[in-house]
């Protein structure tokens, strides 16, 4: 069975039989080259975390240069955080550059959002994105969840989640992640499927279908068609 980890900082994050094709590693722009050198078959999401969005111009420029690389399958994590990082105005400017890049390159956006939901929703309505906006580590309350679902957001769920909110997310808008957790992706799939009272394999099959539609490159075994040379 294929288990997919949409957002992780752990280099070899799980015990799946094909770890190189089943997860998306998050890297900062200046860390990308080293990461791709060490893990040439890996897929990445690349962006500037809101905590580090102060004086980010050089990183942004570099991101804009490398983001079209086929190894990079999503933009982010990027977003807004009212508890940490520089003032929200700065975070917003940096986040908007990620939004534009995601739309321009037709790559999904992985979002970090803490206590800035109103601002996030305003940006969503303003930009009317065609690309999926995937909120990572989502553990929102039911009312917020309903609002985001209605607007068309997608969600990646990790080790910590709020079951009441989780149950309101349509399965086709859901992904799973380890992020920085020590749990492996299988344990996270298990916890979520149990909270949803779903059979583990049925749940995994739906998530695999979601991955196939949003991140089709993760499924393939032959990377050459997207311009990545196979290296062992
Ligand atoms: Zn985050």
The tens digit of pLDDT for each residue in 2-58 reads: 889 999 887 654 444 544 458 899 999 999 999 888 888 789 999 999 999 999 999
Q: How far is the CA of 71 from the centre of ligand 1 (A)?
A: 21
pLDDT higher than 90, residue 93 = yes
Q: How far is the CA of 28 from the centre of ligand 1 (A)?
A: 12
Q: 219 Cβ partners below 8 Å, 6+ apart?
A: 2, 21, 208, 211, 212
Q: Which fold would CATH assign to domain 5-216?
A: TIM Barrel (3.20.20)
Q: How far is the CA of 77 from the centre of ligand 1 (A)?
A: 6
- Segments of the chain assigned E as strands: 5-8, 23-27, 43-46, 72-81, 109-114, 133-136, 154-157, 174-176
Q: How far is the CA of 222 from the centre of ligand 1 (A)?
A: 30
Whole-angstrom distance, CA of residue 20 vs CA of residue 18: 6
Domain limits of the chain?
Answer: 5-216
Q: How far is the CA of 15 from the centre of ligand 1 (A)?
A: 23
Least confident residue range of 15-19, 68-72, 73-77, 95-99? 15-19
Kindly state the average pLDDT of the residues 192-205: 96
**pLDDT computed for residue 184 by the predictor:** 87
Entry pTM: 0.91
């Amino acid at each position: 069975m294929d288990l997919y980890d949409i957002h992780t900082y752990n280099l070899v994050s799980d015990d799946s039989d094909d770890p190189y094709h089943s997860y998306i590693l998050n890297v900062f722009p200046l860390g990308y080259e080293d990461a791709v050198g060490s893990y040439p078959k890996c897929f990445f999401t690349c962006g500037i975390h809101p905590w580090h969005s102060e004086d980010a111009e050089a990183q942004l420029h570099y991101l804009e240069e490398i983001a079209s690389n086929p190894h990079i399958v999503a933009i982010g994590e990027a977003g807004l955080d009212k508890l940490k990082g520089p003032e929200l105005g700065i975070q917003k400017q940096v986040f908007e550059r990620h939004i534009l890049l995601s739309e321009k390159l037709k790559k999904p956006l992985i979002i970090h959002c803490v206590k800035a939901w109103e601002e996030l929703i305003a940006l969503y309505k303003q930009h009317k994105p065609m690309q999926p906006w995937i909120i990572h580590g989502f553990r929102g309350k039911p009312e917020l969840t309903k609002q985001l679902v209605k607007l068309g957001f997608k969600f990646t769920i990790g080790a910590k989640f709020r079951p009441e909110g989780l149950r309101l997310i349509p399965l086709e808008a859901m992904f799973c992640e380890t992020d920085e957790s020590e749990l492996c992706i299988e344990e996270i799939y298990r916890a979520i499927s149990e909270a949803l009272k779903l059979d583990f394999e049925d749940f995994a099959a739906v998530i695999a279908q979601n991955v196939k539609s949003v991140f089709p490159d993760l499924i393939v075994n032959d990377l050459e068609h997207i311009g990545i040379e196979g290296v062992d």
